[in-house]
């Protein structure tokens, strides 16, 4: 997915060995409307589904022959959503519960296409055949637009959007082929909207993150800012900034950036006491490196200025004195080298902080947590090297911002830590 001239476009092709479903979609310039086309190589049945939205953003749907409309749950008479297709569905289904909806979809031929009852789930069922694509539009908001005229223009809108996308998409050539495009497209496919933060962020694309568990892991999220910056100049800088804002939002008061965080406070996959984040542990420090790489791709002093103080606080957290233990947060043996740990004293939680929790270095019995700092009895070379690199990139960021003394300080930190590692 990328943004051209007020256009979003995302193509998706299934493996050639299967029945290929081609999905093309993009936003219509200056509107809250997106248009799309579905085409197939062999006959297949597809369902356009409207499901319950985020907590606090509930909707009631009504399905008709070629349309699904949605109203906010608190104002049923005000349409806030519309899905309109270019031909009538073979069946339209609605249901109040997920199980009932699934059963209705499986027996779609029994559902009359004129059904208009309101419910939390709605779907339009189509039997697609080759050479007869399905066109549809989705509109969000109550503003009136010319839906019929827009629907008739879908092929032209998609064609012009594709041309704009091809002309500006990131790509590469040579011995490695076009290795850039798959990277950016994979990163873009994980981007979701965070309703409580009014922000978009690439989240963890795992089945166990659903339905409301869109998780931001610390170093995954920083790496994603680098990957998202690979997009072209009309969206790359914006994507990188939004990604960084998303993960830095969950920085703790002590400067630590959590191992994982989630904006839905009802999420309880891991820590039941603090279900929306992990206040006991972080992940490997790659933040300054990723910010610098995004800056190299799209130079912007404002990006560095926005991130500099949070990066400094996070960098200092690793050696900062814990008021409860009176020891550095992650230097429990006080030898000037860092160890991974967890303030809970939980071995598995400390293992998660390494980001390499399947590494043989952290097999139970080979390493143990040492109280009171609750860090491993292992000076991880990778961790200390990344912290040294973090200091190096902070020095570059400080220099770019004109902070000469800070630049010299972090350069010296990098050199000192390097010497400790190699001693």
pLDDT per residue as tens digits for the range 344-355:
999 999 999 999
Q: Among 141, 168, 195, identify where a domain stops.
A: 168
For 177: left if phi > 0, alpha if psi spans -120 to 50, otherwise beta; the answer is: left
Which domain, by its residues, includes 42? Answer: 2-168
The answer to the question of residue 376 being in a domain is: yes
* Same domain, yes or no: 404 and 339: yes
Alpha-carbon span 243 to 219, nearest angstrom: 12
Q: Greater confidence, 178 or 116?
A: 178
Q: Which of 35-39, 168-172, 252-256, 362-366 has the lowest mean pLDDT?
A: 168-172
pLDDT at 73: 66
Q: Which of 54-63, 154-163, 211-220 has the lowest mean pLDDT?
A: 54-63
pLDDT at 209: 62
* Same domain, yes or no: 144 and 222: no
The answer to the question of residue 138 being in a domain is: yes
The answer to the question of residue 175 being in a domain is: no
Check if the beta carbon of residue 341 is closer than 8 Å to that of residue 281.
Answer: yes
Check if the beta carbon of residue 104 is closer than 8 Å to that of residue 95.
Answer: yes
* Same domain, yes or no: 156 and 215: no
Residues in contact with 309: Cβ distance below 8 Å, sequence separation at least 6, in sequence order: none
* Same domain, yes or no: 206 and 278: yes
The separation between CA 1 and the C-alpha centre of its own chain, rounded to angstroms, equals 13
* Same domain, yes or no: 160 and 259: no
* Same domain, yes or no: 256 and 389: yes
Mean pLDDT of 23-43: 89
Q: Among 142, 168, 194, identify where a domain stops.
A: 168
The answer to the question of residue 108 being in a domain is: yes
Alpha-carbon span 311 to 287, nearest angstrom: 7
pLDDT per residue as tens digits for the range 264-297:
544 444 444 444 778 899 999 999 999 999 999 9
Can you give the CATH number for the domain in which 375 is found?
1.50.10.10
Global confidence as pTM: 0.77
Whether residue 247 is predicted with pLDDT greater than 70 in this model: the reply is: yes
Check if the beta carbon of residue 294 is closer than 8 Å to that of residue 240.
Answer: yes
* Same domain, yes or no: 213 and 314: yes
pLDDT per residue as tens digits for the range 59-76:
788 888 899 988 876 554
The domain tally of the chain equals 2
* Same domain, yes or no: 43 and 137: yes
What strands, in cross-sheet order, belong to the sheet with 91-95? Answer: 44-50, 121-128, 91-95
pLDDT confidence band for 207 (50 / 70 / 90): low
β-bridge partners, 192: 201
pLDDT confidence band for 338 (50 / 70 / 90): very high
Q: Which two tokens stand for residue 123?
A: 């779907």
Task: Report DSSP letters for 189-244, one per residue.
Answer: HTEEEETTTTEEEE----GGGTTT---EEHHHHHHHHHHHTTS-TTTHHHHHHHHH
pLDDT at 111: 47
Residue with tokens 């690793």: 318
Check if the beta carbon of residue 239 is closer than 8 Å to that of residue 231.
Answer: yes
* Same domain, yes or no: 261 and 146: no
313 three-state secondary structure: helix
Q: Among 117, 139, 168, identify where a domain stops.
A: 168
* Same domain, yes or no: 131 and 194: no
The answer to the question of residue 173 being in a domain is: no
Residue with tokens 């963890």: 204
* Same domain, yes or no: 321 and 376: yes
Alpha-carbon span 285 to 306, nearest angstrom: 18
- Tell me which H or E stretch contains 409: helix 404-422
Q: Which residue from 73, 54, 7 is spatially nearest to 194, judged by alpha carbons?
A: 54
* Same domain, yes or no: 139 and 215: no
- What are the Cα distances from residue 48, in Å, to 141, 183, 202? 19, 28, 24
Q: CA dihedral defined by 191, 196, 197, 199, rounded to 10 degrees?
A: 30
């Amino acid at each position: 997915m990328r943004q051209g001239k007020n256009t979003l476009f995302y193509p998706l092709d299934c493996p050639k060995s299967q029945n290929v479903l081609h999905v093309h979609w993009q936003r219509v310039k200056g509107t809250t409307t997106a248009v799309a086309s579905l085409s197939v190589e062999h006959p297949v049945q597809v369902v356009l589904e409207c499901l319950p939205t985020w907590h606090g953003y509930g909707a009631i749907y009504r399905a008709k022959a070629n349309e699904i409309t949605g109203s906010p749950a608190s104002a049923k008479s005000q349409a806030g959503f519309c899905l309109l297709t270019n031909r009538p569905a073979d069946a339209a289904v609605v249901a109040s519960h997920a199980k009932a909806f699934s059963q209705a979809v499986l027996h779609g031929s029994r559902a009359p296409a004129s059904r208009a009852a309101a419910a939390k789930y709605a779907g339009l069922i189509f039997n697609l055949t080759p050479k007869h694509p399905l066109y549809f539009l989705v509109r969000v908001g109550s503003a009136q637009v010319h839906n019929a005229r827009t629907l008739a223009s879908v092929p032209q809108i998609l064609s012009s959007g594709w041309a704009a996308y091809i002309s500006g998409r990131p790509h590469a050539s040579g011995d490695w082929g076009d290795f850039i495009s798959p990277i950016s497209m994979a990163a873009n496919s994980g981007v979701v909207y965070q309703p409580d933060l009014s922000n978009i962020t690439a989240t963890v694309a795992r089945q166990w993150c659903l339905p409301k568990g869109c998780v931001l892991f610390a170093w995954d999220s920083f790496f994603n800012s680098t990957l998202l910056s690979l997009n072209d100049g009309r969206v790359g800088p914006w994507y990188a900034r939004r990604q960084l804002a998303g993960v830095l939002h969950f920085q703790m008061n002590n400067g630590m950036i959590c191992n994982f965080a989630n904006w839905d406070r009802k999420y309880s996959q891991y820590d039941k006491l603090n279900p929306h984040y992990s206040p006991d542990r972080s992940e490997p420090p790659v933040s300054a490196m990723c910010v610098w790489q995004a800056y190299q791709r799209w130079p912007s002093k404002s990006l560095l200025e926005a991130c500099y103080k949070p990066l400094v606080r996070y960098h200092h957290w690793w050696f900062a004195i814990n008021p409860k233990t009176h020891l550095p947060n992650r230097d429990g043996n006080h030898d000037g080298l860092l160890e991974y740990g967890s303030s809970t004293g939980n071995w598995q939680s400390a293992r998660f902080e390494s980001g390499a929790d399947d590494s043989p270095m952290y097999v139970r019995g080979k390493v143990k947590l040492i109280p009171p700092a609750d860090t491993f009895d292992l000076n991880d070379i990778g961790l200390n090297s990344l912290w040294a690199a973090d200091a190096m990139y902070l020095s570059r960021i400080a220099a770019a911002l004109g902070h000469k003394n800070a630049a010299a300080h972090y350069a010296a930190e990098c050199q000192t830590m390097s010497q400790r590692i190699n001693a």
